[in-house]
Amino acid sequence: ILNVEQSPQSLHVQEGDSTNFTCSFPSSNFYALHWYRWETAKSPEALFVMTLNGDEKKKGRISATLNTKEGYSYLYIKGSQPEDSATYLCAFGGSQGNLIFGKGTKLSVKP
């Protein structure tokens, strides 16, 4: 059974703090690693799709790294803002052709 683990489960930070989350996934049969942001009362939206070992992606204050050999990805948020409050999902794409999602990390940013 393929398992995708995310940590921490939840995180509370102050506005301006930088933070990071971890996603662990199987290191074999790797095709892609996705990160999604899911704000309350909205639909999940894709942040990054990474396919190569060593990939680093950036979108504004959010960045992500990928290590496929050891099976982990980090998501970083620099200078957190209240609008960053959301659940961040990672999903592993393997040879099975669909995505396996982790349970998510819920981030709350206090003004």
Partner 1 sequence: DGGITQSPKYLFRKEGQNVTLSCEQNLNHDAMYWYRQDPGQGLRLIYYSQIVNDFQKGDIAEGYSVSREKKESFPLTVTSAQKNPTAFYLCASSISVGATSYEQYFGPGTRLTVT
| Distances from the Cα of 66 to the Cα of 57, 61, 89, 109, angstroms | 9, 17, 15, 25
40 binds partner 1 (CB under 8 A): no
Interface residue with partner 1, options 68, 104, 105, 106 (CB under 8 A) = 104
26 binds partner 1 (CB under 8 A): no
97 binds partner 1 (CB under 8 A): yes
Could you tell me whether strands 105-110 and 86-94 are parallel, antiparallel, or unpaired per DSSP bridges? antiparallel
As a whole number of angstroms, the longest Cα–Cα distance in the chain is 43
42 binds partner 1 (CB under 8 A): yes
Interface residue with partner 1, options 32, 55, 65, 78 (CB under 8 A) = 32
Quote the least distance from Cβ 104 to partner 1, whole Å.
7
102 binds partner 1 (CB under 8 A): yes
Residues 6+ apart with CB under 8 A from 97: none
C-beta of residue 63 within 8 angstroms of C-beta of residue 11: no
43 binds partner 1 (CB under 8 A): yes
Residues 6+ apart with CB under 8 A from 16: 79, 80
* Chain residues in the site for partner 1 (CB under 8 A): 4, 31-32, 34, 36, 42-46, 49, 51, 89, 91, 93-94, 97-104
